[in-house]
Amino acid sequence: MLTGSLTACRFNNDNTAQQEVIRAHQHFIAQLAPYAQQLYREYHVLPSITLAQAILESNWGTSTLATKYHNLFGVKGEDPHNTQLLTTQEYVNGQWQTITGRFRVYPSYQAAMLDHALLFVHGTSWNGQQYADVLHANNYQTAAQALLTDGYATDPNYPQKLLKIITKYHLEQYDH
């Protein structure tokens, strides 16, 4: 009888922890979705893509880059006055490598989201059309693939990771 009670107690604790994670995920999406939709109306970056990238790149807003520097997307920069040096994993020449990169620092999540949208609109300093395929995508599947082919991500599985997040959390609902 005591064993059954302990098992039930552990199950309830596990269930409570799982429910807290679900609530935190729902809150994170609810926090970002309205602004992602506003940015879509202005800049044509699909909200499902913005949200999935924020989830993936920041681990639901829990990464050091997100919590300390409001950088949800792993956006790099060059200016030492508004960037922070951090290590990250990048997929280079067929293998994962730890690199040190200079990442942009933002005053808020909204500032990071706006900069992310503007990066797609204006491209990089060396190619203003770098992310044109992302902007011209008619659906999130095409946009996710464009992030890889246009050079945003180094991970060859990046599109599949985004698609899994979009599908699991029904993020496509924010595209309409």
Q: What is the pLDDT of residues 65-103, one digit of tens each?
A: 999 999 999 999 988 889 988 887 878 888 888 888 999
148 lies in some domain:
yes
CA-based nearest residue to 158, from 96, 69, 67, 116 = 96
88 lies in some domain:
no
Is residue 12's pLDDT more than 90? no
pTM (2 decimals)? 0.87
Number of domains in the chain: 1
86 lies in some domain:
no
State which residues form the domain around 116: 2-73+106-175
94 lies in some domain:
no
142 lies in some domain:
yes
The residues pairing with 95 across neighbouring beta strands, listed in sequence order, are 92
Say which CATH number the domain at 7 has: 1.10.530.10
The C-alpha atoms of residue 111 and residue 174 are separated, in whole angstroms, by 20
- Dihedral (Cα; 60, 63, 69, 75), 10-degree rounding: -80
Residue 40 confidence (pLDDT): 98
83 lies in some domain:
no
- End-to-end, the C-alpha distance of the chain in Å comes to 53
